[in-house]
Structure 1
């Protein structure tokens, strides 16, 4: 789908359709009726590859170890839910496939296709030999294309009209097909801490959790209840919920420094703090949840 302008004040909650309120900041939009949180942060993806607000080299270096590890776990869970019964393999659509890592991780079990709107990143994925279409979901799909699995790896929270995105998934799924949503959770410990600190007048961490100032900031923070309601409106049900690690000491400094506004000193300090907190975070509410949505058979 084409990315529209930022949310307007008074936008309805996509989970319960109540009018959103102004939250901690002018751009923060929690729902006063349910647990959904949104934002009016503008999505401005570099579709032509002419600008680089985020250092993409450092971002790739910082994310690769964590994403590769998480994708192996995710692929194993997905393969158990969608068994391969021979040729052809089940079909998989990776929306916002970025560098193509998940398509590579799942290639032994699935026949994968990726969609990526960022021109520079799409070119990098194609160079890895994966099948990637440059553009937006579902605009680059044919009306009759159907998939066994549609995956959003850290993507759905960046799509302004999340309800339309899931309705498009239902349209492009085979009966009984799966939508896998891997996204940061509103109930995660890091998000809760950042929100608490923001209430004390220190907004930097909260802004970073929403990726304020990035070309593709977060416009949603979801939880089990809100994703369940949004999915139900689209004809999907939450069949299972799991979680993934959100931090790896490998590449953590590069991940933080990918944001050009973060200084060397601050990046080093945050890296030390998160590295030391890593073992404890395994026992706290997960910051990355995986919602397994299924269409009716």
Structure 2
């Protein structure tokens, strides 16, 4: 898989030119002014350019060497590296940042949890990780799947270089399981039937009766991206979170065992055993 593909060209020269439904607009608002920022997966530097206009100092990391060269115009420094291979500590030493941005990046990584664990060590006091993640449960994807297809696209939710796919629940879980607390979760939206490079195509004439209305009852059916702002839990809080997860898992296991015991004691299960023994003798 070519992970150094030609990137989408962002045309907005200023934050004011961005639509309010754009993930970059949300990210810029979450970062604020005069911050020390790490742009992980900075591409050609289009976000770094906008951050610079807000008085931010930006360090970039980029896989594509050609894109990294362009990004150098807007970043204090750009590291050319594969985030799945090169440890952040090797690139950044003891550097710490007010914000670490993963704009449409985590879905391209084989081990996004590994990156988030490492990122925690490079956050300044009060720092946060800000990420945009595509929503694979958008209604357009679901209708395409209903029609028996799963077609990748050059960009968007089913970008052909995506390695990971997220729903609201799994996006939240990724951060919570790596020791973060979700400070805010925003979304960008596109209607299910919209024609957009961000959405997969499907046969709009073959939607099942009532299917669209049923999909639209899901609050995330038109969600294209989740924009997550997360802050690291302290060690004690992280430990408490893990203990809560363990208790929940144990309770679920106990209930499963109870349900299994009830099933095995049922008349149906007894007849099943008799039938199996009979068939075994036949």
TM score, norm. by length of structure 2: 0.61
Pairwise CA distance, 1:104: 1.1
More helix by share: 2
Question: 2:151 and 2:74 mapped to 1: Cα distance?
Answer: 39
State the match for 2:229 in structure 1: 292
SS in 1 for 2:43: coil
Who is 1:64 aligned against? 11
Say which of 128, 131, 137 aligns to 1:178: 128
**1:140 & 1:100 partners in 2: Cα distance?**
22
| TM-score, normalised relative to structure 1 | 0.58
Residue 44 of structure 2 is matched in structure 1 by 99
CA-to-aligned-CA distance 1:24-67 (integer Å, 9 cap, x gap): xxxxxxxxxxxxxxxxxxx5434xxxxxxx5x3xx544x53599
1:182–1:290 CA contact under 8 A, matched in 2: yes
3-state SS in 2 of match to 1:141: helix
DSSP 3-state at the match of 2:119:
helix
Does the aligned pair in 2 maintain the 1:231–1:238 contact within 8 Å?
Answer: yes
Instruction: Extract unaligned runs of 5+ from structure 1.
Output: 1-42, 47-53, 257-269, 274-279
Are the counterparts in 1 of residues 190 and 222 from structure 2 also a CA contact under 8 Å? no
Q: Which has the larger radius of gyration?
A: 2
Q: Is the 8 A contact 1:96 1:155 kept in 2?
A: yes
Aligned pairs, number: 202
**3-state SS of paired residue (2:91):** coil
Matches within 5 A, 1:174-213: 174-197=124-147, 199=148, 202-204=149-151, 209-212=157-160
After superposition, the CA RMSD in angstroms is 3.4
Distance 2:31 2:39 in 1: 13
C-alpha distance in 2 between matches for 1:73 and 1:291: 10
Q: 1-side partners of 2:132 and 2:117: how far apart?
A: 17
- Say yes or no: does 1:116 pair with 2:62: yes
Counterpart in the other structure of 2:259? none
Segments of 5+ residues of structure 2 without an aligned counterpart are 205-215, 235-282
**CA–CA distance in 2 between the matches of 1:290 and 1:205?**
22
* Matches of 1:283 and 1:238, distance apart in 2: 18
